[in-house]
Each structure stands twice: as C-alpha cells, then as structure tokens.
Amino acid sequence: MVLLTHSTVSVIVSTGIFFLFTSLLFLSGYALQQQSVRNIQHAIRPPDQAKAAGHLYKRSTQDPLSYLDTDADQERQELQPESTPGATGNYAYLQLLSEPDPSNICSAILFFKQLSTAGTAIQDHLFMYPQEWDTMSLSKPIAAALSLLRAASLKYGIWLLPIDMTAATSAGYTTTDTKLLRLGQIQFMQYDGVLYLQTPGMLLDSAKLDAMLLSRPLPLRHDKSRIESYNNEAWIPVPLRSERDADLPPVYLITVNNIDNGHIEARGHIPNVSLDGFGRIVTGPWGVQLAYDGNHDQDKQPGYVFFERDNEGQVKWAHNPLFGSWRAQQYEVCDGLDLDDVMVDHDDEYDT
Ligand SMILES: *[C@@H]1O[C@H](CO)[C@@H](O)[C@H](O)[C@H]1NC(C)=O
C-alpha cells in the first residue's frame, strides 16, 4: 500500500486541474481558429463562386465550404443556362456609380432588369459602388433608390460589389468612377472579360450587346504567342488612368489576371468604332438617330445607348430619341421616386 501525503495529493490534484484547463484552453483556441479560417475563406471567395453558392441556397444541407470542392464547380456548370455557342468564356456586364444619384441608380436597375427579361448569354451582372453608401446617412431619395437596387439585386440577379474607397478618400482624393474601378477591379480576376457600360443609358438589344463580347477574339491576357492579345483589330488598348481622368470611357472592356510573382495585370480596351457593325453596338443617342434616318433598319440599331450628361450631371434630353421611353421605364423600376425633381429645380434657376 502506497501512502500519499497531503502535499502529494494536492500536487496530483492541481496537476490534474492544470492539464484539464490547458486542454480546454487549447480546444477553445482551436475552435476559434477554425472559425476564423472559415470567415477568411468566406471573405476571400471570388464573387462567381459566392454566387454559385447562392444559387444553391435551396439545398439547406449544403456545407457552406463545399464551393472549395471540385464538384462544386461541376454543379456550377450544370447551373449555367443553355449558353449560346461561342460563349465559352466567363464574362460579366458591369455598371458602376461613384456618386449616389437616384436617377442613375434607377437607370442601372432598369438595365439589369432589361438584361434579365430579354435574356443574355453573359452570366454575371455586376454593379459596383463605394462601400460607404451602405453605412453613411443619405438623403431620402438616395436611400429609397438604394433600397430598390437591393431588392432588384435579388429579383434580377445583380451581383452588388461595394468597394472600400478609404485608400483613396483618406489620401484626400475625391471619389471618381475611375478610382472606384481602380480599387474594385481586383474582383474581376475570375473573369475572362468584364464589359463596363456607362449609366445612364438604355439597353435596346441584349443579343447585339452579347455579340460585342462573343463575336470577335478578345485581347484577354497579354500573351506573346497570341496576336489578338496585343494587336487586336476590334479592341484598342486604353489604360485606366485614375489619377488623371475622373470618367471612364462609356464602354470599356476590363481584363484582370494574376501573372507571375503575384503581380496583377489589369488591361482596359475600348471598341474600335471604325470597325463596321462593331463600332455601332454601343453608341450615344446619335447612333439611334442614324438608324432612324435611313429606312428603319433594325440591324443598324445599337445594342446599348449611353446618354450624355450636362455639366451639372443631368441627362441631356435634347437630341435623344430614347429619353422619353427611358424616363418612363425608370419610373416603372423606381416606383414612388420623383426623378424629374432635380430637373425642375434646375429649370427654376433659369427662371429667376
Ligand atoms: C479599326 O478598324 C479599322 C477598320 O477595319 C482598321 O482599319 C483599323 O486598323 C482598326 N484600328 C486598330 C487600332 O486596329
């Protein structure tokens, strides 16, 4: 029989307690760490995978991390609608706003609604905006337009991309469209190409617009062995100069790729407007007039028409045959908002 002294017992007991608590501490630390790994994985997943996961929401048993598995990719393929032949790449349409203007927000909603009702071979529809819109206090019409946008994002499958602009604003820069794109384009890595279309504007023919991405070889990533990547008849390189320019070209093809040593290659192109047919796909209102001046040739109608703005940011309605129908359709998607309000004020200035 071994006799245990009082002090031996207390050493054994306290050692036991020490091990018990150390183990508990380790286990809870491990659980926390796993939790944050999941959060990080959630945060860094690219939008299309997040979207694919979103498409699977009905399967409640779905492991939120299963998009990391290879068969999640397979499911994504199956979820793709019957795509037109040639739509082999991964493309997106993009509209963005750096200023929260209700009329422009409603124009973007209308564009995405038209895309979803008319149908398009381009799977992803993106809307980019400064993240601060989600938290700052905004005027009533702006807040109303944004809540309509959020509702529309579910209804029409718009992928909203709030971009943290503090890197620009804290350095004293104003928020511009080019800066927003500069800071946000990193999210386009998984696309072969993203086609930006200026808002305000109006979609006339989504099939024609699709053809802009699908009918000709795209420059894509720079590649010495592929001549279209650096000498492309249809797409002219125009780098994004966010320090110099505030506005983007009204139609702009963005390609972002991860290249060697963790460097990012971001390329911007505008369509070659002298290329017959191609240059008329996206035009200003003059493109519509040209088509009407002839014999109402439907083939000559643009796919998308961007509207010009005056110095005060108001859409010019003169010489724009689409203005009336655009305004009427804006009211359909933004029921309850007074979009002519600002313009009336504007006219008043002239009266006084
Ligand atoms: C644009 O298209 C025209 C007409 O096909 C062509 O002559 C011209 O070389 C093209 N521009 C570029 C930069 O490729």
**pLDDT score, position 314:** 84
Q: Where are the alpha helices (DSSP H) in the chain?
A: 6-44, 47-55, 70-79, 102-118, 140-156, 166-169, 177-184, 206-214, 285-293, 323-333, 341-351
d(Cα 146, Cα 144) in Å, to the nearest integer? Answer: 5
Cα 225 to Cα 222, 228, 234, 256: the distances in Å are: 9, 9, 18, 19
Indicate the domain borders of the chain. Answer: 1-37, 91-333
Tell which atom from ligand 1 comes closest to the C-alpha of 233.
Answer: 14
User: Does residue 274 line the site of ligand 1, with CB under 6 A?
Assistant: yes
User: Does residue 236 line the site of ligand 1, with CB under 6 A?
Assistant: yes
User: Does residue 273 line the site of ligand 1, with CB under 6 A?
Assistant: no
Enumerate residues 6+ apart whose C-beta is below 8 A from 105.
97, 142, 145, 146, 148, 149, 334
CA 258 – ligand 1 centroid, Å: 29
CA 168 – ligand 1 centroid, Å: 36
Q: Sign of dihedral through CA atoms 49, 135, 125, 276?
A: negative
Give, for ligand 1, the residue of 274, 278, 280, 281 to mutate: max count of ligand atoms closer than 8 Å to Cβ.
274
User: Does residue 233 line the site of ligand 1, with CB under 6 A?
Assistant: yes
**pLDDT score, position 254:** 97
Instruction: Name the nearest CA neighbour of 217 among 206, 233, 238, 201.
Output: 233
Instruction: Write down the residue that tokens 């996961």 correspond to.
Output: 53
Instruction: Name the nearest CA neighbour of 74 among 49, 39, 43.
Output: 49
**pLDDT score, position 201:** 97
**Is the CB of residue 86 less than 8 Å from the CB of residue 214?**
yes
**Consecutive sets of 10 residues in the chain, 352 residues long: mean pLDDT of each?**
63 66 65 56 47 34 35 39 56 97 96 97 97 94 96 97 92 91 95 97 96 94 93 95 94 93 92 92 88 66 92 85 95 92 46 37
**pLDDT score, position 25:** 67
Give, for ligand 1, the residue of 233, 236, 273, 280 to mutate: max count of ligand atoms closer than 8 Å to Cβ.
233
Structure tokens that stand for 212 in this block: 């802009």
User: Does residue 272 line the site of ligand 1, with CB under 6 A?
Assistant: yes
**pLDDT score, position 57:** 30
Q: Exposed, middle or buried, 190 (CB in 10 Å: 0-12/13-18/19+)?
A: middle
CA 263 – ligand 1 centroid, Å: 31
Radius of gyration of the chain, Cα coordinates, nearest whole angstrom: 26
Residue with the smallest CA separation from ligand 1 atom 12 is: 233
CA 136 – ligand 1 centroid, Å: 46
**Is the CB of residue 187 less than 8 Å from the CB of residue 198?**
no
How is 264-323 classified by DSSP, letter by letter?
EEEEEEEE-TTSTTGGGSEE-HHHHHHHHHTT--GGGS-SEEEPPB-TTSPBP-TT-TTH
Residue with the smallest CA separation from ligand 1 atom 4 is: 275
d(Cα 334, Cα 151) in Å, to the nearest integer? Answer: 11
DSSP annotation of 65 reads T
CA 238 – ligand 1 centroid, Å: 15
